Amino acid sequence: MRTQVAIIGGGPSGLLLSQLLHRAGIDSVVLERKTRDYVLSRIRAGVLEQGFVGLMRQAGVAERMDRESFIHDGTLIANGNEQFRVDFVKHTGKPVVVYGQTEVTRDLYDARAASDGKIVFNAEAVEIHGADSDAPYLTYSVDGSEQRLECDFVAGCDGFHGVSRQSIPANVRRDYEKVYPFGWLGILSETPPADDELIYSKSERGFALCSMRNANLSRYYVQCSLSDSVENWSDAAFWDELRRRIPEAVAEKLITGPSIEKSIAPLRSFVTEPMRWGRLFLCGDAAHIVPPTGAKGLNTAASDIHYLFQGLKAQYHDTEAEGLDLYSERALLRIWKAERFSWWMTNLLHRFPDQPEFDLKMQQAEINFLRDNDAAQKVMAENYVGLPF
């Protein structure tokens, strides 16, 4: 089998790239290790920057998102019992859109199916060959049958544990990483959200986040130890701890219920450089990870897709190679800014083990400065709604 662009990974970034390429008349094949149902069962965040929203519209898959999503004009920052609002529209003229990543992925799968897009599920043992040559190809197996996919370019959208990043030689690649000394315990519940907007809450007991998927589906998180386990947390224990970490006025009106999903996620900041090797291009989690504070994970993947799609379109339509040649440089310039923002929010709102009193005072001063200073709120708003591509 042959295609122009081979895409490894059938998550939202790989599917979005495939759909954009299709609308530009460029052929692609997506290889996904799991089934469609498995991919759609994964619970992920759903705060979309304006850049991501624009790409969904460009890809022709925004109809349901525009109809069913929630528009958030700002967010709340809580510090103990005090809270204040950062108004995104006031400071940037733009809101963010709340629409679950699962729904984004579902819309993209439906669009690819409607266009007879080629997606190979259960593609195992994927290997990249000749990425540094003019004739790259992939090998993989489906149900024990060995397959070969020849292509012009390879897009590695296969996540942190995928084969794409590991295919770049160690003497070419440099990794940068910061592992945080805590995780997030999160639950999903069929309950109304605590507020119309997200609440980021700092407390002496640690960080908490009140977020949502829709009017009757809420997502809540509390900071926890990396050594913790979900088995240690009953639903009642989680709700009690969440109430202790959010302002009393919010806790009093919190509607609780049985969890339908519960998990613990570690936090890390990670970037690999470069994001291109020969004809292999890394996108999304294959190249970088951000802590979830600030809602940048899916959005950083979208910025990669923007730069790669523009480069591929210029290559095929105009035989112009500059976009692909500069892909890694352009993508990394924006990625490091997103990494900085996520790192800043994480350090601002979390309680670190054995944190010195001086650092606690600095956190308090930083939150007070953000509360009282319009310029500081503008900077936060600009980063939260998404820096331009």
Q: Which residues are known catalytic residues? A: 72, 200, 292, 296, 384
For residue 224, the one-letter residue type is: C
In the sheet that holds 137-142, the strands lie side by side as 124-129, 137-142, 145-150
Query: Contact at 8 Å (CB) between 265 and 184?
Result: yes
Amino acid (1-letter code) at residue 272: T
What DSSP line would sit under 307-348, residue for residue? HHHHHHHHHHHH---HHHHTHHHHHHHHHHHHHHHHHHHHHH
Using the 8-state DSSP alphabet, how is residue 350 labeled? P
Distance CA 259, CA 218 (A): 10
Report helix, strand or coil for 376. Answer: helix
Q: In 3D, which of 30, 35, 2, 1 has the Cα closest to residue 111?
A: 30
Nearest to 51, CA basis, from 383, 293, 350, 346: 383
Contact assessment for residue 208 and residue 223, using Cβ atoms and an 8 Å cutoff: yes
Question: Whole-angstrom Cα distance, residue 155 to residue 378?
Answer: 35
CB of 56 closer than 8 Å to CB of 32: no
DSSP for 65-124, written as a single string? HHHH-EEESEEEEEETTEEEEEEHHHHHS--EEE--HHHHHHHHHHHHHHTT-EEE-S-E
150 torsion bin: left (phi>0), alpha (psi -120 to 50), beta (else): beta
